[in-house]
Structure 1
Amino acid sequence: VIKMVGQVYFVAGGGIILITIVLIFASNEKVFLMHFMIPGIDVDTQVGYLMTLTLHTMCFLFGAFGLFAGDLFFLLFLGQPMLFLDLLVLKVKSLNEAAAENSSNAERLLIEIIEWHQYYTDYNLRCNRIFYYINSMQIVTSGISIICTLYIILLGDWPGAYLYILVAFGGLYLYCIMGTKIQTCNTAFCEELWNINFYDLEVKNQKMIIPILMKAQNPSEIKVGGFLPLSVQTALQITKTIYGIFTMMLRFLEENQ
């Protein structure tokens, strides 16, 4: 996933710069990579235009790297639950083998699984607390970015908008897809706990496993704004809202024409 995200940023960023270079040589007008001017620099002169273009390129590259670094930080943390699940599978397998052989290690292995589930639950709660504002702002700003980019495309002011909108949609769906993967991981975690051979355990160990089975059926979820689950379904709802706003913008532009 990290490699794919890096490739998206590389292709989109490189494509926007390439389009700008082509337009510079193909058009008689001054084409800018970004739409802001620097006070004190006259873009009507050749030197001023080149200075502005150089600063635009530097800001663009630093911005692209910053976006990728932010997504990388997010992915490193929210990608860990899948690792927890893989390790749980191995622990459950070891427990079932020990229980089938009536080994004295069965109770110790069961306690390890209980502690592992507690650690997994605590990890999800901490991620939800740490990334609460980050997730909420990322989803909101991605939606606003998509709407603004669509409006720019309609106006035709920035050719790079056609590629940038891929980054905007990618940022929206990346976070929501990771949220869906965590939901899937929670379900798989619960199912794996049910794979424990319950009747091979001693009675006292059977009583120990019941609370974690109940807890696993009500896992913590990462929320957007405290009420919407971070999932692909939420991304689809936001996309429908964006589509409605886009049709309103089309009508607005048609009326003004």
Structure 2
Amino acid sequence: MRPSVRINDLVANINYFARLLGLEILVPRLKLVPRTWFLMMVPVSYTIFCVHWTVKQTQHHWMDGLKSVVMLGGLINGCCQLITILQRHSDIKQLLNNIIAIYAEYEHRGADYWNALHLDIARMLNVCQIIRIGYLVSFVVMCAMPGIFLLYDGRHVTIMQYEIPGLPIDTNLGYILTYVQHLISTALGGLFFYMGDLMVLLSLMQILPFAHIFQLKAAALNDALHHKEQSRYLATVGVFVDTDVDVLLLDLINWHQLFTDYCQIVEHTFDFMIAAQVLSSAISILVCFCVNLSGFHSVSTIYLLVSAYSMLVYCIVGTQVEYAYDDVYEISCNISWYELSCAQRKLFLLLLKKAQNMPTIVMLGILPLSVRTALQISKLIYSISMMVMKNRN
């Protein structure tokens, strides 16, 4: 199967889930259909019911109110993702179409590019599988937990930490209707988060194939420069050595410019979503951690693992992107620039300057998307949790 077919199938799969939610990406203009409005009702209903239940529970004890907002991070993340898709639909569509076009072009440029594209698609599919397994397992566990507790000791445990006004869960009818409403909201929310993560991570992971293609182009330029050096030794004095260095150098510079532009577009398009994903996960981890320090709480424990899992995946991908930037700079430094002419060296100097200052993915203009940031956030969460628990009484 051609690389362009595989990447097109992956994009079509993302668009399929988006279409189910009424947010189809690959259309000229996004239209709000009934499914879209139904999806928007999920965060609205959660906000209304959660605020009502939190106020009611806080009157008993502030820790009970804290338990009712363990999914606050998910609400923040969902709203930010929805706003981004609605506002930047055309940018996202253009970004995905450009990815497909690049694969369609470079799969015909030889076996090296063909194999590189297949390798990078396999890497992306592995990330997608990790995300899919994580969401599937967490959804099954969260939805099955109320039934498990009901069979075990007869307790009425809900998926989300709120009750619908007028439907007390002490009664069978109220509990069933509440469970159904929670189940629908969880299913729609999980599907929406899964689609959003695939879309963002696909765009981020594309930076790795760009760096891989840059490596192949740089290798071709180095081979031409090495051939030029060998030919000069064998040529007669005063004879001009004709090589294709100019073409390869301009091709490398143009690709690096395309690479840089793509990184800037990704940061501009998804900076809000990426920051919301990581920081909202941090908020959820903090709340869930504080709740469990005061005593085991099943729902917050599950959501703690889900939030930590999601934040870690994003930060690992961000670290891989940083490594790709470092590889591009190192490859640029290893090019045999001394074989270039004076005019060619001036062009190459522009490339080298840009390679030193690649547009990295930065959240809120402060925090880079990396494992180091995840570690710093984890330390901050632990410190705040200890302060909260010290003064919980």
Provide TM-score, normalisation by structure 2.
Answer: 0.60
CA distance in 2, matches of 1:43, 1:162: 22
AA paired with 2:137? Answer: V
**8 Å Cα contact 1:228-1:234 kept in structure 2:** yes
CA distance in 2, matches of 1:160, 1:9: 15
* 1:117 CA drift (Å): 0.9
**8 Å Cα contact 2:142-2:302 kept in structure 1:** yes
Number of the residue aligned with 1:12:
138
CA distance in 2, matches of 1:64, 1:25: 25
Q: 1:121 aligns with which of 254, 260, 266?
A: 260
* 1:112 CA drift (Å): 0.6
Number of the residue aligned with 2:204:
78
* 1:155 CA drift (Å): 4.9
Number of the residue aligned with 2:306:
167
Q: Tell me, what secondary structure is at the counterpart of 1:101?
A: helix
Alignment pair present for 1:143 and 2:282: yes
Number of the residue aligned with 1:22:
148
Q: Tell me, what secondary structure is at the counterpart of 1:221?
A: coil
Alignment pair present for 1:152 and 2:291: yes
Deviations 1:19-69 (A, max 9, x none): 322111011222222222234435343233222212211211222222222
CA distance in 2, matches of 1:244, 1:74: 30
Gaps of 5+ in 1: none
AA paired with 2:150? Answer: I
Number of the residue aligned with 2:332:
193
Number of the residue aligned with 2:171:
45
Alignment pair present for 1:179 and 2:318: yes
**Identity, % of aligned positions:** 32
- After TM superposition, list the pairs within 5 Å mapping 1:26-105 onto structure 2: 26-102=152-228, 104-105=243-244
**8 Å Cα contact 2:146-2:156 kept in structure 1:** no
CA distance in 2, matches of 1:30, 1:18: 12
CA distance in 2, matches of 1:223, 1:252: 34
Q: Give the root-mean-square deviation of aligned CA atoms.
A: 2.0
Alignment pair present for 1:131 and 2:266: no
Number of the residue aligned with 1:228:
367
Question: 185-194 vs 1-10, which deviates more?
Answer: 1-10
AA paired with 2:263? Answer: N
Q: Tell me, what secondary structure is at the counterpart of 2:215?
A: helix
Alignment pair present for 1:242 and 2:381: yes
Number of the residue aligned with 1:212:
351
AA paired with 2:262? Answer: Y
Provide TM-score, normalisation by structure 1.
Answer: 0.90
CA distance in 1, matches of 2:386, 2:209: 43
Gaps of 5+ in 2: 1-126, 229-241
